[in-house]
Structures are given as structure tokens and as C-alpha cells.
């Protein structure tokens, strides 16, 4: 059967989804017995005992739909960020939230403005809906050109999206610059601020959430996830914060509360355990500082990071380094440059030792 004849035309250019390679297959390919993932920005500090206990207790209720726990989570999120609970909507991961925004507001011929080094999901959101991604070149240090994004807005622009701190770059923008940018976006254009990694930010002046503007900006959507600072990637839970009318519009596009019961109760428990969240923050900040300092020491170009990963350049083949690390049981991520997630201290140290040996070998070959 010719399924393409039945598909939406804008989907014909979309690559088919494929499951990522399985770790077991990759271990066979590289001849190793274990692979430590330092590729997906997972928070290896893990969830608190409180979260584990609450999830275990809730297992007896998994025959029930999760609707009766939604409001409790909305109220917890609202309390944490100082917004009304009716300004919160949840979905299956922040990606589910972002897809819902695109599916509701983007159509054929529309435009979405973003950085030239975007989170990979953004161009896919546009392509799936027949919209055009307008990519604005980054500035020195891989900072996003917020003024350039404003200049790129046309009558076709439906959405301007900023990931802050950036993924895959890790670079954060000043909170004051973000606020000024949001205020300058025309009222007939949605401004989406993806704050998946903001809870890891440490740079002074770069740590403030833009949720504070929601009561006054009815074209603003801020997205967050429980996958990162709360270490709940396996639960797949994210949320959007916006004015109630904007959330209602998202609901018309099919974006309704869509998360499993265990994820919801885990999120409530995670928000309650502020001491554990602080420890998670300190663990990741320490690991990030170690990786950045050590990579610079051995001669890599390292970009400033306010996330739980580091974007760096060796000056040599990204694929060659990736393969070497895989042969030693460590997986990182390749873009135009290499990206490594904060791991356990022993894994961070092993990673650095391998990269250092790689850099020394390359330097010696240059001399000879």
C-alpha cells in the first residue's frame, strides 16, 4: 500500500523515526562489556529517597487514570515559580510540550525564528508542520543573537524560540537581556523560552526564570522539564507555563495533560524535597567545573556552560574521538563539536584521561 499518498504533504520530507542504537548492540560493535552514557544529559545524581518511596506507594493506584493528581502538581509548580496554578500545563516531557506548541500554531508557509545552533527538535517541529525554520547566526562565544532574532521577525513569523541556556552549546544569556528581548517581541508573535537547563545555571545574572513575566505577557510560553535537575528522564514529564487563555488555545490543538500517574506523584515529591534538589545542583556544578577546567588544561577549546554538559572542540575529528571513547566504554555526543554530559566523578576522570591521551597523540604526530 502507498502510505505516502495518504500522508500530510508536509510529512513527506520528514525522516522516519528510528530507535537509537541499543547499548547491547554497541557493546558488541566496540568490543566492550560496559558503556557509560555521558551523551544524553541525564542527571546521574538521581532522584531522592523521598521520590522513590512515593512512587513505590503509588504503584497500588496505577490502575487509575492520573487526572485526580494533576491539580496538586499544578499547585506545587505554581508555588515554586510564583504563578497561578491555572498557568501550568503538563505533558510527556518538555518535547511533548514543544511539539504541542508547534502543532497548534505552525502551519504551511509559517516561520519560526531560532538560533543557528538550535535544540535539534526545533527544526523538526517546523518541518512536520510545513513551516520554515529561520536560523539566526550565533555571536562570539556561541551566544544567541537576540537582537538578530528580533530583526528576523516578518509577517510570516508565528513563533520565536530561545533555549536558555542553549542546547547543545550550554551557553546562558543574561536574564536582563532575556527580559528585554521578550518585551520587544511583537504581541502577535509567540515567544517560547525553553528553560530545560536553567536550574543548573550558576553564572551571576543568568539564573532568573522568565516565568515572572507570564502575568503581564500573554504571548509568552516558558517550558521546563523534570528530566534534568530532578533526574526524572525516565518518567518523561515536562510542563508549559503561560496565561490561561494561551493554555486553552494549546488545548484546542490537542495539548492536554498527558503524563502518567507515577510521573506526576514523582514530580510532586521532587518539588517537596528541596534539600535533595540543592545537592543535585551542587553535584552537577562541581562535575561541570571539573570537566571544563580539565578540558582547558589539556588544550581543548571549551565554551562556557550553565548546564549539566560541556561543549568543546579538540581541533581534531569529532568522530575519531567518539570512537576512541566508545572503545574505552564511554559514550558522548557528536554535533559539529563534541558534547559531554556530567557523569559520576570516576567517569569524569576516566573521560579526561582518554581525551588527554588523544590530544597528546595528535600533538606528537603534528611535531613528527
pLDDT digits (tens, 9 = 90+) for 239-263: 999 999 999 999 887 666 678 999 9
Q: Is the pTM of this model over 0.85?
A: yes
Residue 69 in this model has a pLDDT that exceeds 90: no
Residue 49 in this model has a pLDDT that exceeds 70: yes
Provide the pLDDT for residue 255: 61
Domain 49-272 carries which CATH code?
3.40.640.10
pLDDT mean over 276-287: 99
Provide the pLDDT for residue 252: 85
Q: Of the given ranges (63-77, 254-268, 280-294), which has the lowest mean pLDDT?
A: 254-268
363 — pLDDT class (breaks 50, 70, 90) = confident
The CB-based long-range contact list for 82-86 (8 Å cut-off, 24+ gap) reads 82/211, 82/212, 83/211, 83/214, 83/215, 83/241, 84/244, 86/244, 86/247
145 burial type by CB count under 10 A (0-12 exposed, 13-18 middle, 19+ buried): middle
Q: What angle do CA 272, 39, 134 make, to 5 degrees?
A: 90
| Per-domain residue ranges of the chain | 20-46+275-362, 49-272
Whole-angstrom Cα distance, residue 112 to residue 106?
A: 8
Provide the pLDDT for residue 27: 93
Provide the pLDDT for residue 18: 79
Digit-coded pLDDT (tens) for 105-149: 999 999 999 999 999 999 999 999 999 999 999 999 999 999 999
* DSSP type of residue 187: T
Provide the pLDDT for residue 315: 94
The CB-based long-range contact list for 68-72 (8 Å cut-off, 24+ gap) reads 69/261, 69/264, 69/265, 69/268, 70/257, 70/264, 72/264, 72/268
Whole-angstrom Cα distance, residue 256 to residue 212?
A: 23
What SS3 state is found at 78? helix
pLDDT mean over 19-40: 92
Q: Of the given ranges (63-77, 170-184, 208-222), which has the lowest mean pLDDT?
A: 63-77
pLDDT mean over 289-318: 98
Whole-angstrom Cα distance, residue 95 to residue 90?
A: 11
Provide the pLDDT for residue 281: 99
At the top level of CATH, the class of 20-46+275-362 is alpha beta
What percent of the chain clears pLDDT 70, i.e. is strictly above it?
99
How is residue 323 written as a grid cell? Answer: 570512537
Digit-coded pLDDT (tens) for 202-253: 999 999 999 999 999 999 999 999 999 999 999 999 999 999 999 999 988 7
Provide the pLDDT for residue 256: 63
Residue 299 in this model has a pLDDT that exceeds 80: yes
43 — pLDDT class (breaks 50, 70, 90) = very high
In this structure, are residues 195 and 224 in contact, taking their beta carbons and an 8 Å threshold?
yes
Provide the pLDDT for residue 85: 96
Provide the pLDDT for residue 202: 98
Residue 368 in this model has a pLDDT that exceeds 80: no
* DSSP type of residue 316: S
Amino acid at each position: 500500500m502507498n502510505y505516502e499518498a495518504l500522508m500530510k504533504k508536509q510529512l513527506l520530507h520528514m525522516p522516519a523515526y528510528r530507535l537509537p542504537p541499543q547499548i547491547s548492540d554497541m557493546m558488541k560493535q566496540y568490543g566492550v562489556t560496559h558503556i557509560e552514557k555521558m551523551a544524553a544529559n541525564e542527571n546521574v545524581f538521581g532522584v531522592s529517597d523521598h521520590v522513590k518511596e512515593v512512587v513505590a506507594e503509588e504503584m497500588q493506584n496505577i490502575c487509575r487514570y492520573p487526572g485526580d493528581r494533576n491539580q496538586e502538581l499544578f499547585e506545587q509548580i505554581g508555588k515554586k515559580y510564583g504563578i497561578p496554578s491555572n498557568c501550568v500545563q503538563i505533558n510527556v516531557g518538555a518535547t511533548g510540550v514543544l511539539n504541542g506548541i508547534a502543532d497548534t500554531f505552525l502551519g504551511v508557509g509559517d516561520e519560526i525564528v531560532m538560533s543557528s545552533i538550535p535544540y535539534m527538535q526545533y527544526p523538526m517541529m517546523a518541518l512536520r508542520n510545513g513551516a520554515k525554520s529561520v536560523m539566526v547566526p550565533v555571536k562570539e562565544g556561541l551566544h544567541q543573537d537576540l537582537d538578530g532574532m528580533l530583526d528576523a521577525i516578518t509577517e510570516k513569523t508565528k513563533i520565536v524560540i530561545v533555549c536558555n541556556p542553549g542546547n547543545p552549546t550550554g551557553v546562558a544569556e543574561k536574564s536582563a537581556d532575556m527580559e528585554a528581548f521578550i518585551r520587544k517581541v511583537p504581541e502577535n508573535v509567540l515567544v517560547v523560552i525553553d528553560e530545560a537547563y536553567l536550574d543548573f545555571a550558576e553564572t551571576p545574572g543568568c539564573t532568573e526564570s522568565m516565568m515572572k513575566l507570564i502575568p503581564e505577557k500573554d504571548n509568552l510560553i516558558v517550558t521546563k522539564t523534570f528530566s534534568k535537575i530532578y533526574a526524572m528522564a525516565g518518567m518523561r514529564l515536562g510542563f508549559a507555563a503561560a496565561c490561561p487563555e494561551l493554555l486553552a488555545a494549546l488545548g484546542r490543538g490537542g495539548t492536554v495533560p498527558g503524563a502518567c500517574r507515577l510521573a506526576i506523584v514523582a514530580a510532586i515529591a521532587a518539588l517537596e524535597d528541596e534539600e535533595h534538589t540543592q545537592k543535585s545542583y551542587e553535584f552537577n556544578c562541581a562535575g561541570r567545573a571539573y570537566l571544563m577546567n580539565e578540558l582547558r588544561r589539556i588544550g581543548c577549546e571549551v565554551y562556557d556552560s550553565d548546564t549539566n554538559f560541556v561543549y568543546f572542540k579538540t581541533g581534531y575529528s569529532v568522530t575519531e574521538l567518539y570512537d576512541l571513547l566508545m572503545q574505552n566504554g564511554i559514550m558522548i555526543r557528536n554535533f559539529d563539536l563534541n558534547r559531554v554530559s556530567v557523569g559520576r566523578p570516576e567517569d569524569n576522570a576516566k573521560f579526561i584521561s582518554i581525551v588527554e591521551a588523544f590530544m597528546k597523540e595528535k600533538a606528537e604526530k603534528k611535531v613528527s
